[in-house]
Amino acid sequence: MFYYSKSKYVTLCGCKRRLWLEKYKPEEKEEQEENQRLIVGNEIGDMAMGLFGDYYLAETDPIDIPKMVENTKEAIERGEGVICEAAFIYENNYCAVDILKVLPDKSVEIYEVKSVTKVKPYHITDTSYQYYILSNLGFKVNSVNIVLINKNYIRVDGDVNLNDYFIIEDVTEKAIKKSEEVKANLEISDNYLANENELPDVALSSTCLEYDGCPFKDYCFRLKGIPSEGSVLDLYSNRNKWKMINDGIISFYDLNNDFKYFDKLSDIQKRQIDFYLYDRGLDINKEQIKAFLDELEFPLYFFDFETYQKALPDVIGAKPNQQIPFQYSLHIMESDGTITHKEYLGDGINDPRFPLIKQMLNDLGDSGSIIAYNESFEISRIKELAYNFKPYSSKLYKLVSRFKDLLIPFQEGYVYNRAMGGSFSIKSVLPALFPNDPRLNYHNLDDVHKGDEASQAYIDLKNMDIDSRNKIRHSLLKYCELDTYAMVVLYEKLVELTKEE
């Protein structure tokens, strides 16, 4: 039997076409990697079950919706005060409430757990659907609440105090008001789903790309005629992309011929379109490049952190989702061009920060420019380390003033070619300037090819056998080393460009 669920209803409210595609064109659905956000959400949901003390879990394994509904009904009848995954069906609408408090008079309170720090609009949509079902089943719903992670929580030694880690926000009024839309939305969806031959007409929007992206995104983009490259989606810092697309301005060719939109573009955006359409080679501004290089002081320290984050921090003094540095790579260039490489990588078991700080302060010396690509990330991590490790704060803060950002020459347009497109990340700039250099190709690395893979690989180290751990540690070191080696190569390219006639 087909049931609407919370997730289906939220999907329906975000995009009515997606449910139709799920039903009639499942072959167009893209395979997606395991969603880390959902894994984290499940972990936080499991933690929150104990928020109100003892509880009864109505969930079955594997999921059996009728059985869960029956379990919930029996639990309420026998006087259970807290029921987790409390399941209900009204008509063909199903929901499982994360935490249901049942009061002595059988009235209830709804608590929906989210692994974020603030309420978002779709959370209200989610809880309004739950309110709709329970109220139509005859329950008196006293309150509707979102359980959030407390962004100010700081991990201390020992067991987690759930009342410190979670905060509860009452959204009763918003959920009740939003619930007035549920019946009409379900009827609209039923009408769409009843017609196999008519694809629902919906405007493309940011919903298509939220989180890991809709699995039908490519199908809808093809229908709209969005090219794989040279579309307004590729335009640098384009806040009007969805309005453009739904106005029929889809490609750079369209945009180049539309004065209304084109005149409002920034110089960087206009250059991107011009270079895409006419491929004007490499554009350089020697004076600006030279001015940037003249600000650098030898020795040059090309520096990059790798970090991981957890919704429930696993190191003392950290906040939820705080970026924890576990690794760095450092290439040091002397004024005569001599280069040495240094690195640090935690063991994956103990807090990596204290030994990292000690080695980093020694490796970075007392003078010379510290060069990062998008320096704000490294500077933020150093400030956090200074906050968490007070005895070293003075020395750590002295590092901040020495930073120089290698992103600037590319982001500001001192150097540009067509292949950079609308991204100035190091993984876009590098292949644009060195398209055939295997030493700079992240795809040639083993196991770890990008930042999120590095984070997960480090988190997984503690559960590996010794051989696997050594292999992954080697891969992590090679990945991070390539990040700073790439900066060295880009710096040398900038120097070379200032000397070319």
* d(C-alpha 273, C-alpha 230), whole Å: 8
**CA pseudo-torsion sign 418, 422, 424, 427:** negative
Does residue 121 have a cis bond before it (omega within 30 degrees)?
A: no
* d(C-alpha 408, C-alpha 494), whole Å: 12
Phi/psi at 72 (5° precision): -65, -45
The predicted pLDDT at position 352 comes to 98
The CATH number of the structural domain formed by 6-192 is 3.90.320
- Give yes or no for a contact between 162 and 50, defined as CB atoms under 8 angstroms apart: yes
3-state secondary structure of 289: helix
| DSSP result, 280-308 | ---EE-HHHHHHHHHT--SSEEEEEEEEE
* d(C-alpha 324, C-alpha 363), whole Å: 19
The predicted pLDDT at position 125 comes to 96
Tokens encoding 296: 């650098």
For β-strands 56-57 and 82-90, DSSP reports them as parallel
Binned average pLDDT, 10 residues per bin, the chain of 501 residues = 82 89 93 67 91 95 91 97 97 96 97 96 96 98 98 93 97 98 93 90 88 86 93 93 94 91 92 93 95 98 97 95 98 97 97 98 98 98 97 98 97 94 93 92 94 96 95 97 98 92 62
The predicted pLDDT at position 35 comes to 59
Q: Is the whole model's pTM more than 0.85, yes or no?
A: yes
CATH number of 288-499, picked from 2.40.70.10, 3.30.420.10, 3.90.120.10, 3.30.420.40 = 3.30.420.10
Tokens encoding 165: 């880690």
- Give yes or no for a contact between 110 and 144, defined as CB atoms under 8 angstroms apart: yes
* d(C-alpha 485, C-alpha 491), whole Å: 10
Tokens encoding 11: 């999907």
The secondary structure of residue 367, as a DSSP letter, is S
Q: Where are the domains of the chain?
A: 6-192, 225-278, 288-499
**CA pseudo-torsion sign 255, 259, 265, 268:** positive
Amino acid (one-letter) located at 246: N
Tokens encoding 89: 């069906």
Does residue 299 have a cis bond before it (omega within 30 degrees)?
A: yes
* d(C-alpha 29, C-alpha 18), whole Å: 10
